[in-house]
Structure 1
Amino acid sequence: MNIGFTTASVYASEVSSKEQVELTNSLLKSITFDKNTNKLFMDEEKLINTTELTSTEASKLATEFNSLSSEEQKDLMKDFSKNNTARVAPIIIWAAGVLGGWLATKLLNWGAHKFCSSYKNYNSITKYVCEVID
């Protein structure tokens, strides 16, 4: 599972250890067990109310976590509980990786759109490329 270590280390360097603990606790409190599906479930509303995440960020995290298989969720939770002495909480690393991937995708799409709006009719190659990516 890709958890984005580069993004996580940049994010973690900006967050004090007290804030890390608060964020970790908030993320863990937003995870409940759904008896109907027999899976763990991350509640988007709890994330928004207990953290400083925007609704888009909370939605992305909840969607990503809820789309994991039951085994992947259990493995992720085991990693969280094993590494409780680590400097950066594993759930923060995972969350930063999810948000970093989402942000990278948004920036790539934005850059492609800007390129095509400026150079679409420059020549036949740029016209073809822009038809594919935009």
Structure 2
Amino acid sequence: MSFTAELIISILLLVGGVFLLVGSIGLARLPDIFTRLHGPTKATTLGITGVLLSSLIYHSLNQGGLSVAELLITLFLLITAPVAANMVAKVALHHDNPPIPRTSGQALMARAKERKAPEQDSDQT
């Protein structure tokens, strides 16, 4: 394996590991469920994507062809993580989990729970 390939794989592993660490710390340290969702859905998804891309490059170079398994896992995670976060946020909203007081848009949360459209200002029409 060439030095360039090893360098790219190492950089992807390091960047992925840093994002995984930041996402895990965010999951543990953020104050409420709505802010806590950002850790696993944003940073951790990006981190595992870096790790899987490095694995894809490594196995593709060693096997002489494209490693489809890592590519499919990466695509599946990138598609399902935002959907899962949306579902968790909806469940938290309907179970009356309160956001922290400094969260903006709390009036929108009440209207979303009632499944109503946001109110429009009369001067915007």
TM-score (norm 1): 0.29
| Structure number with higher relative contact order (C-alpha < 8 Å, ≥ 6 residues apart) | 1
Which has the larger share of strand? 1
TM-score (norm 2): 0.31
**Structure of larger gyration radius:** 2
